Amino acid sequence: MATKCGSGFSYNRNPEIAAKEAINKAMQSAGAEKCDIVILFSTIGYQHEILIKTLSAITDNAKLIGCTGEGAISFDFNNESPFALSIMIIQSDELTFEIAKVTGVKTDCEKAGKKLGESITPFITDKTMSIWIFPDHLSMNYDAFLSSFESSVSTNHHIPIFGGGSADNWQFKQMFQFHNNEVLTDSVVCLVITGTLSVASAITHGCIPIGIEREVTKSQGNTILEIDNRKVTDVLQEYIPEEDVANWHKLGIRCLCLGLKAPGTLKNVYDEYIIRAMPVVDFATGSGRVSTELKPGTKIHMISRNPEKLLPNAELMAQDITRQLNGAQPKFVLQIDCAGRSKVLRTEEKMIIQKKLQSFVKSEVPWTGLYCYGEMGPVAGKNYFHNFTVIIAAFY
């Protein structure tokens, strides 16, 4: 049998019809009547309990994992309406799939990372090839979580981590994670893939620094209180209109973020800057919250998206993955894409870039992904958290 895989999508507003439509497409394209794992990405408008109940009935309670995203992605398809979903199914005798979860993440991200890492350690072998992680973005301090997670996973080799933060259509109120028949919040769900395949991956962003170098002068955990001894909200108004700052979660966050100088080893294979978004700006305190910790003294640049970089970078990504594949054709592909990247592009521009990203595979290769709040992927043999990026992982 080896590995059978298929993907499907739907934008039907009825959750039962949408689930049936997408899973039937996935099963048909895989040439399979059953599967070992279902990966589900959907936007926020559905009754997700109905989606999952329908999928479980069709797949005979196959393992299921996923989350809500700002948009759903499949081959030659991306949709950011409140009602869209993408599904991938895999049946394999050369791969095994184990899933896990941890809840109550916001209370202590470090403890949650340790707990999840310890729970998956029994599944880890020298053939474990990848871990996928989908957290509740509102709950996360990624530095604390990833550090404790990786240190608690017992392994003697590098395991690439791919994933993205759940999203809720720019509301930043409540987002959901899926684990078997459960619809969760304030949780992290995890997939461990073990077997004989390899993975080729690439990551890029389309951002440029603007203005002078600045410094974080006061912070607490992952909340920045002051930049250059001034309130964060005051500094932001130097770069974007006041109304964009006032409506930050819908307008400002899409076009402005922070850039940290990348270390030399990363700069040579990635970019000069590591990007950090601020998903929350608090006008009562004048502060901004990032998803990792920026200690006082950290040097930063304000960073703006540059749409003109996106297409050339997509071409370079496709070329890089083609080189890594060395003639092989992937069994399946995962795309983790920043929710905000899509907001600076018109629909036709997004499809041009999407086609370029997918140019290294044939149309029948199963492809799934989501637009999310924060991305995780490896660079130069080390796992990193990113913002404003697109990550492609091709499994072959």
116, 188 contact by CB (below 8 A)? yes
Mean pLDDT of the residues in the chain? 93
Measure the CA–CA gap between 340 and 256, rounded to whole angstroms: 10
Q: Is the dihedral of CA 320, 324, 330, 331 positive or negative?
A: negative
Q: Given CA atoms 278, 280, 282, 287 in this order, what sign does their dihedral have?
A: negative
Q: Are 135 and 145 in contact (CB under 8 A)?
A: yes
Instruction: Quick: pLDDT tens for 311-357.
Output: 899 999 999 999 999 999 999 999 999 987 666 677 788 889 999 99
> What tens digit of pLDDT does each residue of 26-80 get?
999 999 999 999 999 999 999 999 999 999 999 999 999 999 999 999 998 999 9
d(CA 342, CA 70): 10
Q: pLDDT tens, 198-225?
A: 999 999 988 899 999 999 999 998 999 9
Q: Where are the domains of the chain?
A: 3-203+310-395, 207-304
Q: Looking at this protein, which amino acid is placed at residue 249?
A: H
Quick one: which of 257, 265, 282 has its CA closest to 378? Answer: 265
Q: What is the pLDDT of residue 343?
A: 66
Which parts of 95-238 are beta strand (E)?
Answer: 95-103, 128-135, 161-164, 177-179, 182-184, 187-195, 199-205, 207-220, 223-227, 230-231
| 123 pLDDT higher than 80 | yes
Q: For residue range 70-109, list pLDDT tens digits in order.
A: 999 999 899 999 999 999 999 999 999 999 999 999 999 9
Contacts of 108 (CB under 8 A, 6+ apart): none
CB of 167 closer than 8 Å to CB of 339:
yes
Model-wide pTM > 0.85:
yes
Give the percent of the chain with pLDDT over 90.
Answer: 76
Q: Is the pLDDT of residue 1 over 70?
A: no
